[in-house]
Amino acid sequence: MLGIIAGETSLPKYLINKLIKNNSKFLILDLTKSNNFKKYANSYSLKITQLGKAISILNKNNCKKIIFIGKVKRPEISLLKFDKKAFFYLPRLYSAFKKGDGSILKEIIKIFNENKIKVLNSMKFTPELVFNEKNINNIKVSNLDKTSINKGIQIIKTLSKFDIGQSVVLNNGYVLAMEGPEGTDEMIKRSGYLSKKLKLKNKSILIKFPKANQDLRVDLPTLGLDTVKNCIKANIKGIAVKRSQNIILERDKIFNLTKKNNFFIISL
């Protein structure tokens, strides 16, 4: 049986429907605010701090393999209430929390492994969603754009040791915005505000690459329709992602939207 630790976005539902169609056995640990998966059998609503309860449910159901899928917002640690087992791991989690999201996720993987629960990569179950195209719609990317993209990639690589976000927006070779705790979509909106305030004539580019040593089992970059819509509104003309290390949702809708707006999405 497969355990699905499910967050927000449409990706968990996509996977669940696929598993149902294939008659696969699974259970859901629902971390969404609105308990999005309550209609499914074997669904358990949990808070992110109920690590002990999660491990107990998995063990009772003889579930030794899990995947993380969907988006879970990073909480403020001072406001969290941990269950007993999570409290036992609190010193380790707190130490990781201070280092950044990547460290937290790696520590959680270690804890599951110590409890003989293996964390798998969700791409194994949704290979059809992995973005492998060089250019989704063959819209030309200028040499200046390529220079900006390469610069953005190097910025993300350089800042990886600080566990800073995996996205950056560049305009004409200059950094306009970098992803922080707010997430990619909020950073995109912020870059749009700056673009308008600074009265920039040229459109920007979003570079979304995994950080060095980013564990894709629990932190898989995902590109959805809302992100593309936000980019278009924010005076961004294209997105560059890492080939075979990004999931793309609603591909057909994204293709049509990008074609209509002369918006490129490339992978490198």
- Region of 151 (left: φ > 0; alpha: ψ -120 to 50; beta: rest) is alpha
Per-residue pLDDT reduced to its tens digit, 209-265: 988 778 888 888 889 999 999 999 999 999 999 999 999 999 999 999 999 999 999
Mean pLDDT, residues 79-95: 71
**pTM confidence score:** 0.85
Residues 120 and 159 in one domain: no
Residues 191 and 75 in one domain: no
| CATH number, position 166 | 3.40.140.80
* Domain edge (last residue) among 124, 142, 176: 124
Per-residue pLDDT reduced to its tens digit, 12-26: 999 999 999 999 999
- Region of 138 (left: φ > 0; alpha: ψ -120 to 50; beta: rest) is left
Per-residue pLDDT reduced to its tens digit, 55-72: 999 999 999 999 999 987
The torsion angles phi and psi of 175, rounded to 5 degrees, stand at -70, 125
Position 258, amino acid? T
Number of domains in the chain: 2
Mean pLDDT, residues 181-202: 92
d(CA 162, CA 238): 26
Report the run of H or E that residue 17 belongs to, with start and end: helix 11-21
Residues 33 and 111 in one domain: yes
Report the run of H or E that residue 26 belongs to, with start and end: strand 26-30
Q: Are 258 and 264 in contact (CB under 8 A)?
A: yes
Mean pLDDT, residues 38-67: 92
Which range marks the domain in which residue 66 is found?
2-124
d(CA 99, CA 101): 7
- Region of 35 (left: φ > 0; alpha: ψ -120 to 50; beta: rest) is left
Mean pLDDT value across the chain = 90
* Residue 50 clears pLDDT 50, i.e. is over it: yes
pLDDT for res 79 = 47
* Domain edge (last residue) among 106, 124, 142: 124
